[in-house]
Amino acid sequence: MLACVVVYLTHFLFYSHFTKLVCLIEPLYQFASLSVYPLFYIYFRLLFVEKFFSFRKHGIYLLLPVIITLLYLSAGLALPAEVFINWLYKVGTTPENTALKFLNVLKVFISVVFIGQVLFTVIANLRLIIAHRKKARNYYSDLYEIRTLNVVILNVVLIGCGFASILLSILGRQYFFSEMMGIAVASIVFSTMLFAIGWLGYLQNAVNPTFEEVQTQPIGFMEVIPVDHRQLLLEKIANLFRIDRIFLNSKLTIQDVAQTVGTNRTYVSSIINQHYGVNFCTFVNNCRIEELEHLIKNHPERTNQLLAEGCGFGSVDSLKRAVHTKTGLSMTEWKANLAIRR
């Protein structure tokens, strides 16, 4: 948001013809504009992967903006202030020299880098969301925990903001000198998007769950587990769900199961994956749906809220999502089918 403030402030000074201030702040503007999307990507990494910002770990994403800014600053300092301002505003003719030629090339390069940053950030953020959901399905039992709706919306807003930024970058700032309506529209669009980004960011807590902190076993580790021990773990897990009905705990995680059967979560996950052919979340919710079917047949008068509480679902929404995921039907349609089968 601070980088966006710098961009907005520079645009204000530019279109208000505070040329001396523009001359001073222009390199900072280039750094801010080239840092916005890398900073968004770092923010997503802090949501999904890392816990804290680190220059050592995250500084690499800001390295290119720093290098480009230093090159831009060096070329700008090599020119008289008046020549540099004329070049920025494209006023009159300016004598060709090495510094100006370099700035012209650098300007094109900055546009290309900016477009690349937007595409990289949007795609990389989407991959982080998908990777999180895949891992979460092998950790949480409630589908609600897997949802990252606010983050998805945030990434969609970034896509819109990114493509709008690319369009404005192609048009150039000088284009809007004769298009005041364009400035108004662009200001409204970007202000709305930035407000949405800021608001969603304010509401969003880190979704990096505890399973990121647990060390996993190397690939192929199941092969070294004796067959009898693997069978014993499978029986313990089956009894835990069939007899102890642990799935009625709406906040159940795979770590809870692992601690109860006396092993680690990676073993439990692999055993469920291999024996039942589903991830942990699907396995638990299948058990809950079986219980749900039993309750509906015996207590058809119960509300969805009571059914959700009685089967271990964290909410009615979780119940409906689980039913739809399992059967492809809405809760109403599924209950009607059960009534016909009775």
Query: Residue 290 has which token pair?
Result: 């079986």
The answer on 118 and 38 residing in a single domain is yes
Q: Which domain covers residue 263, as residue numbers?
A: 218-341
In a domain, 212, yes or no: no
Residue 253 DSSP SS3 = strand
21 pLDDT higher than 60: yes
Give, in order, the Cα–Cα distances in Å from 201 to each of 1, 154, 194.
Answer: 10, 8, 10
In a domain, 119, yes or no: yes
In a domain, 327, yes or no: yes
Q: What is the pLDDT of residue 91?
A: 65
Closest C-alpha to 27, from 62, 71, 59, 61: 71
Distance, CA of 201 to CA of 298 (rounded, Å): 45
Orientation of helix 2-15 relative to helix 19-48, angle to 10°: 160
Q: How many domains does the chain have?
A: 2
Q: What share of the chain is helix, strand, coil (3-state, %, to 5)?
A: 80, 0, 20
In a domain, 289, yes or no: yes
Q: What is the pLDDT of residue 210?
A: 52
Which residue has better confidence, 192 or 125? 125
296 pLDDT higher than 80: yes
The answer on 283 and 162 residing in a single domain is no
Q: What's 252's domain CATH number?
A: 1.10.10.60
Give, in order, the Cα–Cα distances in Å from 109 to each of 34, 64, 71, 105, 151.
Answer: 12, 12, 12, 6, 31
Q: What is the pLDDT of residue 93?
A: 54
> How much is the average pLDDT of 312-330?
91
Handedness of CA 176, 181, 182, 183 (dihedral sign): positive
The answer on 223 and 146 residing in a single domain is no
Q: Which amino acid is at 33?
A: S
The answer on 98 and 147 residing in a single domain is yes
Whose tokens are 């090159």? That residue is 71
In a domain, 265, yes or no: yes
38 pLDDT higher than 60: yes
Domain's final residue, options 172, 207, 242: 207
Q: What is the pLDDT of residue 208?
A: 60
The answer on 229 and 176 residing in a single domain is no
The answer on 178 and 266 residing in a single domain is no
pLDDT category at 86 given cuts 50, 70, 90 is confident
In a domain, 301, yes or no: yes
Buried b (16+ CB within 10 A) or exposed e, 139-167: bbbbbbbbbbebbeebbebbbebbeebbe
> How much is the average pLDDT of 236-242?
94
The answer on 18 and 116 residing in a single domain is yes
Distance, CA of 149 to CA of 152 (rounded, Å): 5
Q: What is the pLDDT of residue 11?
A: 86
pLDDT digits (tens, 9 = 90+) for 254-274: 989 999 998 888 889 889 998
Q: What is the pLDDT of residue 135?
A: 81
Whose tokens are 């809220």? That residue is 305
Q: What is the pLDDT of residue 223?
A: 47
The answer on 225 and 186 residing in a single domain is no
Q: What is the pLDDT of residue 272?
A: 92
The answer on 333 and 235 residing in a single domain is yes
Which residue has better confidence, 320 or 139? 320
Q: What is the pLDDT of residue 42?
A: 94
The answer on 154 and 232 residing in a single domain is no
289 pLDDT higher than 90: yes
The mean pLDDT value of the chain amounts to 85
Domain's final residue, options 207, 238, 264: 207
Distance, CA of 39 to CA of 169 (rounded, Å): 19
126 pLDDT higher than 80: yes
Q: What is the pLDDT of residue 26?
A: 92
In a domain, 139, yes or no: yes
Q: What is the pLDDT of residue 221?
A: 46
The answer on 125 and 239 residing in a single domain is no
pLDDT category at 284 given cuts 50, 70, 90 is very high
Domain's final residue, options 158, 178, 207: 207
Distance, CA of 62 to CA of 68 (rounded, Å): 10
> How much is the average pLDDT of 142-155?
75
In a domain, 213, yes or no: no
The answer on 199 and 87 residing in a single domain is yes
